[in-house]
Amino acid sequence: MVFYFAHFLFFTVLLVFSFQPYFQHPLCRRDERLALLQFKESFAIDKRASSNDPFAYPKVNLWKSQGRDCCFWEGVWCDQNTGHVIGLNLSSSCLLGSVNFNSSLFRLFHLQHLNLAFNDFNYSKIPFALANLTSLTYLNLSISFFSGQIPYELSRLTSLATLDLAPNYDFFSPKKGWLELKRPNLGSLIENLTSLEFLHLSNTKINSRIPSTLANMSSLKVIRLSHCGLFGEFLMAIFRLPKLQVLVLGYNLGLTGNLPEFQFHNELMILSIPFTSFFGKLPASIGMLSSLEYLVANNCNFSGLLPPSLGNLTKLLLLALDTNSFNGTVEMDTFLKLKCLKILSLSLNNFSLLIKTGKSTNTTTAKFEILKLGSCSLKEFPNFLHNQD
């Protein structure tokens, strides 16, 4: 009996040690733990620093109560095999201060993911030492009050898939804020970032033409470049980027161009070009954008007839075409059959909006939250509004 018990005990112990790696992970590295603590101590904690986010809270204040293993700290995650810190998400953490070039942050050499959005870095410059974090694939410094020239050194982060630096402009203090891209310019910054999928530089002073480099970045899914002072002709090839889902270019008054003939396989979900100088007709092929949810093209220079194919955009939530020069006659039924449509703005064009007379009993039409039909030559109150909640 003793023999069998000893035999059983031996194999139980052997089994436990054999599977030990599956039940434990390495503790975080001591030097990286100290680097995190020093980074924390370099800031004041002030709830006003994250006032843009009502759900903000100081994550770093929880670290002391979460043990010595930094891999279990709020906003920190580690490689399960090595224990190296590979992710740091301190967004909306009420951090007030600046990130200096010799910050302990830059001793976290294995970082792949860095999110410092929704804090207040007091209009300091983005530190060039970020280039030391060569494994970064995700960098988010948006709404964090950086200012000045975006450092050229960021162009060395060749593994980046996400670069989000916007908006850092303080709308309430117009003399403050504004990141700038002069030297390097936009083309120099992104030419080596060949893995980039998400680019957000809105409210950055770029003040240049769209670089041809952008049209060759086949991994791009999201381009947000509104309020950037862009000018010149927009490159048609950008519309043909195979993975593009979001294109936001509004409030670049000097930016001009036409919309292309779209292809059936296009994945575009958001097309936003308000307050630009885009001109010409809306192509009938726009009805092939089966994934489109937001089409915002108000205050441009478009003209011609509105294509009936707009009625094929069954996922559309927002359509804004006001303040252009569209003409002819437009049937309201084109838009009423878009059941997902919540916001429709057609005001201040040169067309007549044709609405079928007689009391409407169709309760399956769009339920609008915002409807703008000013200057559309309406002769009577639209009957379909009787079905609106």
Per-residue pLDDT of 188-198, as tens digits, reads 999 999 999 99
More confident call, 231 vs 360: 231
Write down the pLDDT at residue 358: 60
Q: In the predicted model, is pLDDT for residue 1 greater than 70?
A: no
Write down the pLDDT at residue 380: 77
Write down the pLDDT at residue 184: 85
Q: Residue 249: which of 265, 266, 233, 263 has the closest Cα?
A: 233
CA-CA distance, 40 to 88, in Å (whole number)?
Answer: 12
For 154-173, write each residue's pLDDT tens digit.
999 999 999 999 887 666 66
Answer for the pair 128, 153: CB distance below 8 angstroms, yes or no. yes
Write down the pLDDT at residue 383: 78
For 96-106, write each residue's pLDDT tens digit.
999 999 999 99
Q: In the predicted model, is pLDDT for residue 337 greater than 50?
A: yes
Question: How would residue 19 be classed by pLDDT, with cut points 50, 70 and 90?
Answer: very low
**Alpha carbon distances (Å) from 330 to 156, 274, 285, 315, 385:** 51, 21, 17, 20, 18
Average pLDDT score over the chain = 90
Q: In the predicted model, is pLDDT for residue 15 greater than 50?
A: no
More confident call, 375 vs 21: 375
CA-CA distance, 228 to 245, in Å (whole number)?
Answer: 20
E strands along 154-201, which residues? 162-164, 179-180, 198-200
Answer for the pair 341, 316: CB distance below 8 angstroms, yes or no. yes
Write down the pLDDT at residue 168: 74
Q: Report which residue type is found at 147.
A: S
For 206-255, write each residue's pLDDT tens digit.
999 999 999 999 999 999 999 999 999 999 999 999 999 999 999 999 99
Average pLDDT over residues 114-119: 98
Q: What angle do CA 293, 380, 353 make, to 5 degrees?
A: 40
